[in-house]
Amino acid sequence: MRIYPLRSVTVGLMSFLLCASLVLHCQELGQISDRKDWPLVHGNATNERYSTLTSINTDTVKRLGGAWVSTKFEDGASTRSSPVVREGVMYVTAGTRVYALNAKTGGTVWSQKFSKSVSWQGVALGEGLIFVGLQSGRVEALAEKTGKPVWGQQIGEIPPQKGESITGAPTYARGVVFVGLANGDFALRGRVVALDAKTGHELWHFFTVPSPGELGHDTWDPENSVWKVGGGGVWQTGAIDPELGLVYFVTGNAIPPFGGEERAGNNLFTCSAVALDINTGKLRWHYQLVHHDVWEADIATPLLLYDTDAGGRPQKALGVMRADGYLFLLNRETGHPILPVEERPVPQEPRMKTSATQPFPVGADEVLPDCEKWRTAKIPTGFRIGCFFTPSYFDNLNVLRPFFGMRIAPMSYSPQTRYFYATGVVFLGWRRRTEDPWMLLALGDTAPGLDSSGVLAAIDSRTDKIVWQKTMSSRGGGLLSTAGGLIFESEADGNFTAYDAKSGEIVWRFQIGMGGRGLSSGGRGPAATYEIDGEQYIAVPAGSSVWAFKLGGALQPIVKTAAILSSDNQFSGPIIDTSEIETVSLDSDGNQPVGGSRYYIDEYKFNPVRARVKTGTRVTWINNGKMVHSIEALGGSWTAGPISPAQSGYVTFNKPGRYTYICKDHPWVYGQLIVVDQTTSDGLYTADQAKRGNSYYKQSCTVCHTDTLQGADQVPSLVGETFMSHWQGRTVKDLLDRVRTTMPQMKPGSLSDKEYIDII
């Protein structure tokens, strides 16, 4: 454990210097968005993602064209980082590298490689340095002109613990770097750290889960020490108000994420917005948006600062989006709601010690549909609808509930329209938990026939009402608004789109080719804007490269090709070549830091869920569980009959096709059988290899990339167009070498060659 010695004299001196510096430069920080540069990932210290540049506007945007496309990043890496620009140079992160690009031409100025992946959100600039976080919990400072390392500081435990990572870009106020540690999902307490920008020396730190004797510790179970592994990871970039002397961050879920019975109480300061004293790191106020989170409902969208006269008087305000689509508007000096908020009853599960109520803004519109709007939707046979706050207990088997989908992609605020702009993903998820409260992964993330969509909404800051709303194929990469009356977003279909900020009308669209569906934003990220030699540019990350646009740009949209992988909305996840299917699966959440690997025998999941055979094959279902399972086609066209424990059922398939089947006794348990013609090639792998690879993948990879290969919130998908485009034209050996040298995340190269080959 890291020991923090008493440094009262040093801290006092640094606090004095820091305070003086910030007061002198508060006006400068407040005007960053008026400049021609974009020195922080969200434009300025308020995170508002708004630019006062007006050359590109509703009248001229039709003349916008491609100015340049950067060369592809090394090692097949992709980027979602918002470009940061100063004095004609752009800085982005991708894979294990920081890149400096000529912001006028896209040419590479320099790149710096690290041994660990860098923050996917980007970098911050200050003091002639570039500040970047690594997924080892380390902050590195590079010389802005050359990329050479200047200093590095481990802000987590020493030695580093598994799961300590920095996902949010650092933010900077004159002389100080502020950064959050996103380690909550690995049974560590999240923290915010302030570093001296010139030396990397730690000035202060704040734990998001309080220790005994500190404010908020009484909101944790007094019967155990779960607070020590309590979570509250800090996933996103903070915002700064130097005039008030406050820095603001949002926090993630508690740990164990679904095991509420282990942590009675509201579990402060998880799922909260916190305001910290810039000089000391002391908590000035907090606002918890989800009490006693048992849904993994992180506050994972960056908060932003704005000024308002809502409520009848001028106020310094803060907007923070809850993951169910409610926008909370707070006074950023006090933390008090600007518009009324009330506590409402929510569904209960006493065994999980759920909170009786949750906060809701009175009269506000919710961006994402809750259960009432889903009740008329067509859902798979055997399931029923729950609400956002319906708890998922181990015997609550067949509940579909809305996904907390307002996360990751940053909002924007336009002082011109006084609207917030936000994007999210809409779908029903099948989330179950085990009897073991410490199994950190939920079961049954997908159900067949369920599709997702995206939403883009404009919300009036004066009323918290939706002004206009658009449905898209999936969540966008984040918003940029400008004084030209426009908002820009990269979208899941590969389009980079400009909307009229007032009406939501599409006024310009350009295909950049990086699409992809799912929870992760893949190669999509938020745009930035800047000016060079009197010309305004808009730049946006596009997977393995960066696109930049200007008026009169000559580059044309790419020709959108068909998806490399065929779409199958019924099922996702690996397909195993086998004629034997078990009725019960053994699930594991991998080598977790709490008690190692956790295992669960799942009586309601076929093994494998997706199998492939050739025509003429007799398929065997083996009941390796404790209950009778009746296997039949969805619709009843064929059956393997009731199968008692330790017995088998059989069906021979002579016709190619995709067959969906269920367990008639438990009709929410689905499987898919893919029957191919006899002439179909066996490929380059055997069924035994596929089984072994699936097992190794579950042990080492699912914790980040999930069972469906789609990737958790911060992790790239391993399927779909974005992934395949990175590897198109390269060999399997290239992919193997990449995986072997970078995975598993905290122990690359730790598996045997045979295990890596089987996984690939």
Mean pLDDT for the chain overall: 87
Chain centroid, CA 541 distance in Å: 16
User: What pLDDT, on a 0 to 100 scale, did the predictor assign at position 523?
Assistant: 61
For 504, the 3-state DSSP assignment is coil
- Whole-Å CA distances, 22 to 42, 239, 242, 534: 19, 14, 6, 31
pLDDT in tens, 341-389: 999 999 999 999 999 999 999 999 999 999 988 888 888 889 999 999 9
Closest CA to 232 of 205, 276, 192: 192
Instruction: Give the span between the Cα atoms of 186 and 208, in whole angstroms.
Output: 14
Alpha carbon distance, N-terminus to C-terminus of the chain? 37
Tokens found for residue 454:
């995206």
User: What is the DSSP code string of 702-731?
Assistant: HHHH-TTSS--TTS--SSSHHHHHHHTTS-
For residue 263, give every residue at least 6 positions away whose Cβ sits within 8 Å of its Cβ, in sequence order, or none: 220, 221, 224, 226, 227, 230, 254, 256, 292, 353
Instruction: Name the amino acid, one letter, at 255.
Output: I
Given this model, what pLDDT does residue 745 score?
A: 57
Indicate the pLDDT class of residue 15, thresholds 50, 70 and 90: very low
CB distance 137 to 166 below 8 Å: yes
Does the pLDDT value for residue 18 go beyond 50? no
Secondary structure in 3-state letters for 466-493: EEEEEEECCCCCCCEEECCCEEEEECCC
pLDDT band at 3 (very low <50, low <70, confident <90, very high): very low
Q: Is the pLDDT of residue 64 over 50?
A: yes
Local confidence band at 599 (pLDDT 50, 70, 90 cut-offs)? confident
- The percent of residues above 90 in pLDDT, for the chain, comes to 65
Mean pLDDT of 210-220: 97
Q: Are strands 419-426 and 412-414 parallel, antiparallel or unpaired?
A: antiparallel
Whether the pLDDT of residue 683 is over 60: the answer is: no
DSSP state, 234?
-
- pLDDT category at 575 given cuts 50, 70, 90 is confident
Mean pLDDT of the region 469-493: 94
pLDDT at 584: 94
Give the type of residue at 602.
D
- What percent of the chain shows pLDDT beyond 70? 83
Confidence of residue 499 (pLDDT cuts 50, 70, 90): very high
Predicted confidence at residue 397, as pLDDT, reads 87
Residue whose C-alpha is closest to residue 571's, from 605, 608, 606, 609: 609
Residue 442 confidence (pLDDT) above 80: no
Higher pLDDT, 583 or 592: 583
Q: Give the pLDDT of residue 562.
A: 42
Instruction: Please state the domain extents for the chain.
Output: 8-550, 576-707+729-759
pLDDT at 187 over 60: yes
Query: What is the pTM assigned to this prediction?
Result: 0.86
Domain 8-550 annotated CATH 2.140.10.10: yes
Q: Which long-range contacts (CB under 8 A, 24 or more apart) does 85-92 make?
A: 85/37, 85/38, 85/39, 85/528, 85/530, 85/539, 86/37, 86/38, 86/39, 86/125, 86/144, 87/37, 88/532, 89/144, 90/539, 90/546, 91/122, 91/123, 91/125, 91/130, 92/122, 92/123, 92/541, 92/546
174: closest CA among 205, 192, 198, 200? 198
**Contact, 463 vs 441, CB < 8 A?**
no
Q: At the topology level of CATH, where does 576-707+729-759 sit?
A: Immunoglobulin-like (2.60.40)
Residues 6+ apart with CB under 8 A from 127: 175, 197, 198
Q: By mean pLDDT, which of 275-279, 427-431, 601-605, 648-652 is the weakest?
A: 427-431
pLDDT digits (tens, 9 = 90+) for 244-301: 999 999 999 999 999 999 999 999 999 999 999 999 999 999 999 999 999 999 999 9
- The rounded distance, in Å, linking the Cα atoms of 727 and 75 is 10
**CB 304, CB 318: distance < 8 Å:** yes
Higher pLDDT, 756 or 445: 756
User: Is the separation of the CB atoms in 324 and 404 below 8 Å?
Assistant: yes
pLDDT at 381: 85
- Please tell me the least confidently modeled range out of 282-291, 358-367, 675-684, 719-728: 719-728
pLDDT in tens, 217-242: 999 999 999 999 999 999 999 999 99
Q: How confident is the model at residue 716 (pLDDT cuts 50, 70, 90)?
A: low
Is 80 exceeded by the pLDDT of residue 28? no
Q: What average pLDDT does this structure show over 413-420?
A: 98
